[in-house]
Amino acid sequence: MPAPLLWLGAAAISIYAGNKLNVAHLREQNIVSRLPGDCNSAIVPVNGSIVTCGIYEVLDHTGIWVDGNIYELNGSGLVRCVSPKRFIENRSGDDIYVACNMLDTPLSESASVERAKSQLYSLYKYHLLRQNCHKFVAEMIAGYPCEVTSFSDLNEFLSEYFSSPIDWRLTQINKS
């Protein structure tokens, strides 16, 4: 019984170390100027904004902001429209962050709103590494299949798509 716990612990440490290396790469390449939690000044998301929250300081969960709610690909593979409160429920923090450019303007793609709405209640073959929330967000932004599998990949995609380093800012929203 102790062996599986050791493997689980080793996997968690490996993911954490990999995330630290990714952060260094994203900053060095000027892909991201600030990561979630780096800045506490708040921004109000606009329709089509990309939002994120942390999952136990190891993973990130992302979605598309639409009319005060968030369209997300849930771990079951179901595309849902959830309130900000539900988006962060059972996660490690109370904060939601929005991707902005260097002028504090939320990055958004207006067409992603209709794309996300059209996918509501669709069922995807969810896979943590191959078909996840980050891939869903990238494809709603771009409108075509994307090779995005991690939060790091999503940041690279967003930086290239919007021709700007990503500045993750705290959201100024009602989470009730």
Kindly report the CATH number assigned to the domain that includes residue 90: 3.90.1720
Could you give the number of structural domains in the chain? 1
pTM here is 0.85
Q: In this structure, is residue 15 part of a structural domain? A: yes
Residue 41 has pLDDT above 90, yes or no: no
Task: Find tokens 């932004």 and name the residue.
Answer: 141
Mean predicted confidence (pLDDT) in 115-123? 98
Which value, in Å, is the radius of gyration of the alpha carbons in the chain? 16
What range does the domain containing 110 cover?
A: 2-171
**Contact, 160 vs 29, CB < 8 A?**
no
Nearest to 98 by CA among 26, 35, 162, 163: 35
Q: In this structure, is residue 47 part of a structural domain? A: yes
Residue 13 has pLDDT above 50, yes or no: no
Mean predicted confidence (pLDDT) in 151-162? 96
H or E element at residue 55 = strand 50-55
Residues 6 or more apart in contact with residue 162 via CB below 8 angstroms: 101, 107
Residue 2 has pLDDT above 80, yes or no: no
Q: In this structure, is residue 176 part of a structural domain? A: no
Of the pLDDT bands very low, low, confident and very high (cuts 50, 70, 90), residue 21 is low
